[in-house]
Amino acid sequence: MTLLKAEELYGGYGGGDILNGVSLRVDAGEVVVIVGPNGAGKSTAMKALFGLVNVRSGRVTFRDEEITRLSPDRIVGRGVCYVPQEANVFPSLTVLENLEMGAFIRRDDYSAQIERVFELFPPLKEKRSQAAGTLSGGQRQMVAIGRALMLDPKVLLLDEPTAGLSPKFIDLIFERIQEINATGVSILMVEQNARHALSLADRGYVLVLGANRYEDTGPNLLANREVAEMFLGG
């Protein structure tokens, strides 16, 4: 079943178009990875799914309902949550308060969800009363992902979740992303560590200049010589 779908999106941030007809699809239970050279519009394509880009033409649907021009605060209510690449925590709020803000629109008791995030990222439990701004980069990324999990989303959008992390944390974050996916959350992520990301992806897209270039399963993209030579550094 297709959850989130973008059809031939054109648009950008007000100037010229960055997206030139990109189409994406996330099915239930999938891990989908977007790769491509710098400036290909990978992050912009992801933001367009979340109402953060001026989409000039094309449409975005979630479970066959159009969400193209909904604002982000409406889209999270549908079950799509987004983790930006940068500035993705509230630095002066504690870890626990960051998670509470992720659950802002929930009016029920979400303590079980907090426990689930703590199980996924045990260091956060210890540091629950510490300001998020004082944590290490890897731990901040855990808070950022944890915040987005608080609404128990159907689709989680991750913009370069391992950017700037040490190798130890890169492995850990990828591992956790697979665990999150195993609980039934579909995942769409943009990644610089293309090989690593594609190796655990069900499907992958290669974008060039805001349009689709290749679309295939993760292993097939990795095995595709053209893709490997052009975009994965040989």
Partner 1 sequence: MIDFLQIVIYGIVLGSIIALGAIGVSLIFGILRFAHFAHGDLMTLGAYFALAGVAGMSLPMFAAFGLALGATALVAVGIDRALYSRLQQVSPIILLISSVGVALMLRSLIQMIWGPDNEIYQSGISMPWTFAGLRIQPTQVMIVGGAAGLMLLLHLFLQHTRFGKAMRAMSDNPDLARLSGINTQRVVILTWIIAGVLAAAAGIFLGMDTRLHPIMGWKLLLPVFAAAIFGGIGKPYGAVAGALVIGLAQEMSTLILPAAYKPAVAFALMVIILVWRPTGIFGGKVL
Cite the beta strand spans of 101-202 per DSSP E. 155-159, 186-190
| Residues 157-176 interacting with partner 1 (rule: CB under 8 A) | none
Q: Can you state the percent helix, strand and coil of the chain, rounding each to 5?
A: 40, 30, 35
Q: Can residue 147 be called a binding residue for partner 1 (CB under 8 A)? A: yes
Judged by beta carbon, residue 11 or residue 84, the one nearer partner 1 is: 84
- Please report how many Cα atoms fall inside a 13 Å half-sphere around the Cα of residue 74, on the Cβ side: 11
Q: Can residue 88 be called a binding residue for partner 1 (CB under 8 A)? A: yes
Q: Can residue 76 be called a binding residue for partner 1 (CB under 8 A)? A: yes
Q: Can residue 128 be called a binding residue for partner 1 (CB under 8 A)? A: no
CB neighbours of residue 72 within 10 Å: 14
Q: Can residue 91 be called a binding residue for partner 1 (CB under 8 A)? A: yes
Cβ atoms of 140 and 147 within 8 Å: the answer is: no
- Contact residue for partner 1 among 31, 35, 36, 90 (CB under 8 A): 90
Judged by CB under 8 A, which stretch of 83-91, 118-126, 184-192, 194-202 contacts partner 1?
Answer: 83-91
Q: Can residue 152 be called a binding residue for partner 1 (CB under 8 A)? A: no
Judged by beta carbon, residue 50 or residue 231, the one nearer partner 1 is: 50
Quick one: which of 76, 35, 57 has its CA closest to 205? 35
Report the side by side order of strands in the sheet with 31-35. Answer: 80-83, 155-159, 186-190, 31-35, 203-208, 211-217
- Contact pattern from residue 98 through residue 127 relative to partner 1, giving x for each residue in contact according to CB under 8 A and a dash for the rest: --xxx-xx----------------------
- φ/ψ of 142, rounded to 5, equals -65, -45
- Contact residue for partner 1 among 84, 138, 146, 161 (CB under 8 A): 84
Q: Which residues bind partner 1 (CB under 8 A)?
A: 50, 52, 71-73, 76-77, 82, 84, 87-93, 97, 100-102, 104-105, 147, 151
